[in-house]
Amino acid sequence: MASIAGQGVARDAATRTVARDVGFPGRTVTGLCMIVAPLLAILGALLPIGIYHAKGADFVAGMAAHHSRTGFAFNFAVAGMILLIFAVAGVAQAIAQVRPRLGQAGGVIAIIGICGPLFFNGVYFGGYQLTDPSTRSIAGKMMDQAQIIPSNIINISGPALVIGFILLGIGAAKAGVLPRWQAWALGLTCIVPVGFISGFIVIAAIGFVCAALALLPLGLRLLRGQDVAVAASA
């Protein structure tokens, strides 16, 4: 009898320490976001190659020369970031069931970081509307001012993106939400800001590829109705 009771307690403990689902916005929406968001973000980072520059005046000139491609890039990038917020929320909730501090901290900090690209894409879109020769100097100055670190609190988004995804990668590995290699890929999403800051946007695209490697299989598991944790589905 004692042995049977001990086994029951062990099973209960295992149930409590395995992330089995996500909450808001639900399994289907979260799964779709995990699949679609990284793909849109990759397109949003690849399309501006040869156009994007860290200096506003050069970026405005590139946008003027490649107007249609830039417009598609902004739309894909913004859509990807919005959906990525829901994807990150789902990962964070799954982690938090087993590792509450890592899941909560990683999710909150990463979402704050994601808000940064949304803000800057808004600024860039403003410059995109001012690519006429008579307004290019205004657009360039506006975009340069937005990137001055003391000018606004939005500039914490870069460090937040780095710290948040590192915490999520660690949390996903410790909570069994992702296999170790996928947890590493999730953590390596932290290189995304380096691409934008350096002007070498291929680095940002590689960061979003890492996010895809981590999130796509998890999104598919959600859509198939499987447990979130790999430990539970193994």
Each residue of 136-167: pLDDT tens digit? 788 788 877 776 654 556 678 888 999 999 99
* pLDDT of res. 21: 64
Compute the CA torsion angle 128, 129, 130, 132 (nearest 10 deg). Answer: 100
Backbone phi, psi, residue 182, to 5°: -75, -35
Question: Is residue 17 a part of any domain in this protein?
Answer: no
| CA count, 13 A, side-chain hemisphere, 55 | 4
Question: Is residue 4 a part of any domain in this protein?
Answer: no
Question: Is residue 16 a part of any domain in this protein?
Answer: no
What is the residue range of 194's domain?
Answer: 24-225
Q: What is the pLDDT of residues 179-231, one digit of tens each?
A: 999 999 999 999 998 888 777 889 999 999 999 999 999 999 888 877 666 64
When pLDDT is cut at 50, 70 and 90, the band that residue 50 belongs to is confident
Question: Is residue 13 a part of any domain in this protein?
Answer: no
pTM, two decimals, is 0.83
Show Cβ contacts of residue 8 under 8 Å, excluding neighbours closer than 6 positions. Answer: none
User: What is the crossing angle of helices 67-96 and 100-128, to 10°?
Assistant: 170
User: What domain count does the chain have?
Assistant: 1
Q: Nearest CA to 165 among 102, 218, 228?
A: 102
Question: Is residue 195 a part of any domain in this protein?
Answer: yes
Q: Nearest CA to 191 among 218, 165, 154?
A: 165
Whether residue 23 has pLDDT greater than 90: no
When pLDDT is cut at 50, 70 and 90, the band that residue 7 belongs to is very low
Whether residue 100 has pLDDT greater than 80: yes
Could you check whether the bond before residue 25 is cis, i.e. omega within 30 degrees of 0? yes
Question: Is residue 202 a part of any domain in this protein?
Answer: yes
Neighbour count for residue 214 (Cβ, 10 Å): 30
Question: Is residue 134 a part of any domain in this protein?
Answer: yes
Residue written as token pair 């070498």: 200
**How long is the chain?**
234
Question: Is residue 19 a part of any domain in this protein?
Answer: no
Largest Cα–Cα separation, the chain = 86
